[in-house]
Amino acid sequence: MTPVPDYKVRKHFPPGPRQQPLVGNLKDIPSGGNEWDAYEALGKKCGIDVVYFNALGSHLVVLNKFEAARELLDKKGSIYSSRPRLVMINELWGWDWNLIMMPLGKAFQAYRKVVQQEFQPSVVAESHRIIIARETIAMLGRLMKTPDRLPEHLKQMAGATIMAITYGHHVTSADDEFVALAEAVREHAEKTPGSSIVDVIPLLKYLPSWFPGAQFQRDAEIMRRLSLDMRLAPYNAVKKLIDYGTAVPSIITRLIQSESPLEGVPAGEFAMNAAGVIYSGITVSALLNFALAMSLYPEVQERAQQDLDRVVGRDRLPTFEDRQELPYVSNLVKETLRWKAVSPLALLLTARCNSAMLHDESVYTSPHEFDPNRYNPTPKRPTGEPDPSRAAFGFGRRICPGRYFADDALFLAIACMLHVFKISDPSESRERAQVQWSSGLVRRVSPLVPSPFPYKIIPRFSGAQDLSRVSERCIMKATR
């Protein structure tokens, strides 16, 4: 290959910080946490919404405005929706099976079509809502018993919901084998850099793991094994149940018993890969952010609970059918997605969309405050401030195919938690400086999670405990 002179490359990219000889903008690229804020600051410093970086020959374009993202990723998705070569993640971690990591092509189209069909609004309403309700109510019961273990209960709820829908597997314990495998992959991904010097110098992928400085190879071996175990263990379990004639209908049973839509990939392998990509921690991250917001903004919580008492009363739990009568709670769900984006750095071809879009002061009033009223119509804004889902779930061909499912799951969990519990800050302080959100290039595959924060959860009224217990028994009978 003949190197292209920098001045020729720059002609095809937006402006950006001045480049240094050899390394380009390597020192300008933010790292060490909260990178999305630093990207936004760089954009403001340069006076532009689209910022270009060149680091050792790797090109990076940062999009800080919704309009820029929509122009490039929605209207020109065929150009900007693919993936670069991801040596560390795809080639060493062995994640090339993952829809999120796939470049555009026949494989991407086949996997995305299947996932999209399984999570379209009509399927979510007809098939998945009953499972969402069952696991949400079960979570309320666990939270009633041990309110100090909120993150654990949310993880079990999210894992149980996905496992039931994807594999027909009923999770009954926080120690469930399959949920533990999926969580191990997610947790190890958070601890392991998603990018490495090997992405800049691909030839280093051939270094043996024992070679000095090749820790990335040893980390990759662990990730490769965990990735395979996470997909293979539940797949094999379902295969046995199919052979015995006792398998519960699920996404993977339908895929196993159908012809593979991808030439050259057996139906079993296609099913295993498609099912493996569905597990996500986005719901958990958003609900932890919601709990944090409620502890910091008690007036918002009280306003939502007034509506719940008026519409639902105290003799039952909220349902999906109540949503139209609960506009403030629906707005609270929107604000949860906007206030702290669960994926502030979205990996694209050579573009990164960060949470600057959801905190744009020209779009959102006091963007760092948690205010569900911002979506109400006003004389100046007849339709209210923009729905954050336009950016929170991605753009174009990479928009999240599970967005309708995630929205339903978040609404019911938030409505039920608000109805049954009071969430507060035991220190009675609105100080949030000590809460940090993990970040880094691993956010390509893992959602944003807040660091531990103080909270207190208690039943909101005297019959709350009995209500959750009776509701759990009823939903369990309905789903047998």
Binding residues: 400
Are 453 and 435 in contact by the 8 Å Cβ rule? The answer is yes
Distance CA 457, CA 144 (A): 9
* Residue at token pair 């693919």: 82
Can you read off the two tokens belonging to residue 85? 């070569």
Identity of residue 17: P
User: Which one, of 350, 348, 354, lies nearest residue 40 by Cα?
Assistant: 354
Q: Which long-range contacts (CB under 8 A, 24 or more apart) does 301-309 make?
A: 301/418, 301/422, 301/423, 303/328, 303/372, 304/328, 304/329, 304/332, 304/372, 304/418, 305/418, 305/419, 305/460, 308/415, 308/418, 308/419
Distance of alpha carbon 421 from alpha carbon 61, whole angstroms? 44
Round to whole Å and give the CA distance between 294 and 115.
33
Q: State the DSSP string of 370-438.
A: --GGGGS--SS-TT-SPPTHHHHT--GGGS-TTHHHHHHHHHHHHHHHHHHEEEE-TT-----TT--B-
Pairwise CA distance, residues 162 & 276, whole Å: 10
Binding positions for heme: 400
Residue type at 338 in one-letter notation: R
49 CB-contact burial (10 Å; exposed 0-12 / middle 13-18 / buried 19+): buried
d(CA 43, CA 38): 9
Which residues lie closer than 8 Å to 209 by C-beta, 6 or more apart? 217, 218, 221
Question: Could you tell me which residues come within 8 angstroms of residue 77 by beta carbon, excluding any fewer than 6 positions away?
Answer: 395, 396, 397, 398
